[in-house]
């Protein structure tokens, strides 16, 4: 009988730990989502040229 009690307590403890882990995981993800800046359509940023890698030399050059 004591083995059954120990197994039941272990199962309950595991379920509680999983619940706590999931809650912490969700809290961290929510915090990271708030920290990510929202993309803004900035005309000044659009005027900055994009760098592309030159396949022959491997150097980065502007498209413009």
The torsion defined by the Cα of 9, 14, 19 and 25, in degrees rounded to 10, comes to 160
Nearest one of 44, 45, 62 to 53, comparing CA atoms: 62
DSSP code for 34: H
Is the whole model's pTM more than 0.85, yes or no?
no
pLDDT in tens, the chain (64 residues): 799 999 999 999 999 999 999 999 999 999 988 887 766 677 777 788 888 999 999 999 987 5
């Amino acid at each position: 009988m004591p083995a059954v009690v120990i197994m039941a307590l272990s199962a309950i403890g595991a379920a509680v730990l999983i619940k706590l882990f999931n809650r912490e995981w969700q809290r961290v993800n929510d915090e990271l989502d708030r920290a990510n800046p929202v993309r803004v359509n900035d005309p000044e940023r659009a005027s900055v040229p994009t760098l592309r890698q030159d396949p022959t030399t491997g150097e980065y050059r502007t498209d413009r």
